[in-house]
Amino acid sequence: MNQEDAVTYIAAPGGVLQGNIRVPGDKSISHRAIMLGALADGVTEVEGFLEGEDSLATLRAFQAMGVSIERPGPGRVIIHGVGLHGLRAPEQPIYLGNSGTSMRLLSGILAAQPFDTVLEGDASLMQRPMKRVTVPLGQMGARIDTARAGTPPLKIHGGRTLQGIQYEMPVASAQVKSALLLAGLYAGGETCVTEPAPTRDHTERMLESFAWPVQRRDGRICVQGGACLRATRLRVPADISSAAFFMVGAALVPGSEILLEEVGVNPTRTGVINILRLMGADIQLLHERLAGGEPVADIRVRGGELRGIRIPEADVPLAIDEFPAVFIAAACARGTTVLTGAEELRVKESDRIQVMADGLRALGIDARPTTDGMVIEGGAFRGGEVDSHGDHRIAMAFTTAALRASGEIRILDCANVATSFPGFDALARRAGIGLRVDPAHA
């Protein structure tokens, strides 16, 4: 990160959360809207698109491959689809910033193109494991080179003919599943992916919205190559992963009451609600409805006392991005919270087990990292300084910790909050967190 990008958050202790809040659009759905809209026949109109750096990286990647994309107003995107075979070779390597979703899903699409591409990212993305997609794509006939450690850059060779495979995923990963299904659109025959546990199914739902048939039974998802995507209109719900910080913040402060509007509550994403409810949080889903193939609801959260729990492993893939926030709830709960079966957290935007444990301990909490999770004794936060290691969700999680801290919390390296949650600091202040942003501190 450049010196001029350095951003420190300074969160004042105390406060309650109140009011109606609409967090920005869902990141996973925003990526997929651009990808399928670009590959569709016709014009796709999107509302509620996340204007965060990650989904914008996907948008710019398709612009670099000749897709015309208009942005007529906040959250509005108009994509002039070029059809499955209409992409053009980009003039240079495609830079995807911090976005693992962009890189893994794009590799599935690009493996089937007639031209070569190179995918790169920032320092964090350049260390993330890519073999999980390049190996099964290779079995389909793709040729993708990685660095020796199986990390980016990805050099994707064009002009390959892909054949459908039957793939049993060793890790529960929606990104791997999606990369293979997207490659499967171009492959001969049928491509089937079996998941060891349910993961977010936005790709499957959105393929259906674009009129591409998807077979799903008992954890096995299949697509047949050779059809076409029909352009559509999409409304992206608010991102439950962004809402999670306010859910936790409200849940852990007695007297708080917030209403999070139009949040995506797809059952493959609601692990955080299940976990917080098990901890005793008062969370209600209101006006549940279906919008553009995705379940949405308004979520009301009232503050109270939380208790420590053993987190059910079945909820881990359903809450995979929410553990930084869940760890803050556990630190404020009465008793011990135990997380197991979550080794995937070690290969996210940062090693979220180590980085969160370090931050919790710096603030006076007894947190013991394990290979696949963490043991947290509920206690009291004191003020102090933590390093987010450029991980957006860690920066936002420690911001909410200030609500229950006895002193100011300073959080380093917060510029990447813009990857998923542009405007977080203003919304946090409006809701009741005393947050200042200091761009002058490294």
- Return residues touching ligand S3P (CB under 6 A): 28, 101, 173-175, 178, 199-200, 320-321, 344
Per-residue DSSP letter, 414: -
Nearer residue to ligand S3P within complex by CB, 190 or 344? 344
DSSP 299-354: EEEE----B--BPPGGGTGGGTT-HHHHHHHHHHSBSEEEE-S-GGGGGSSS-HHH
Which residue lies nearer to ligand S3P by CB, 130 or 156? 130
Q: How far is the CB of 241 from ligand S3P (least distance, A)?
A: 7
**Active site residue: 321, 391, 413, 425, which one?**
321
How far lies 283's CA from each of 150, 280, 412, in Å?
A: 42, 9, 31
- Between CA 83 and CA 226 the distance in angstroms is 12
Question: Closest approach of Cβ 263 to ligand S3P, in Å?
Answer: 16
Give me Rg for the CA atoms of the chain: 21
* CA 193/CA 46 separation, integer angstroms: 28
Closest residue to ligand S3P, based on beta-carbon distance:
28
Residue 342 class from Cβ within 10 Å (0-12 exposed, 13-18 middle, 19+ buried)?
Answer: buried
CA dihedral 397, 403, 405, 407 (to 10 degrees): 100
387 a catalytic residue: no
In the complex, minimum distance from the CB of residue 172 to ligand S3P, in angstroms, rounded to a whole number: 7
CB of 174 to ligand S3P, least distance (A): 4
How far is Cα 272 from Cα 293, in angstroms, rounded to an integer? 21
Enclosing H/E stretch for 431: helix 424-431
Least distance between ligand S3P and beta carbon 101 (Å): 4
Q: How far apart are CA 300 and CA 258, in angstroms?
A: 6
Q: Which is nearer to ligand S3P, 133 or 156 (CB)?
A: 133
Residue 62 to residues 33, 96, 224, Cα–Cα distance (Å): 12, 11, 24
73 CB contacts (<8 Å, ≥6 apart)?
Answer: none
Q: Which is nearer to ligand S3P, 337 or 419 (CB)?
A: 419
Nearer to ligand S3P, 8 or 107 (CB): 107
> In angstroms, what is the minimal distance from the CB of 410 to ligand S3P?
26
239/262 with CB nearer ligand S3P: 239
Residues with catalytic function: 321
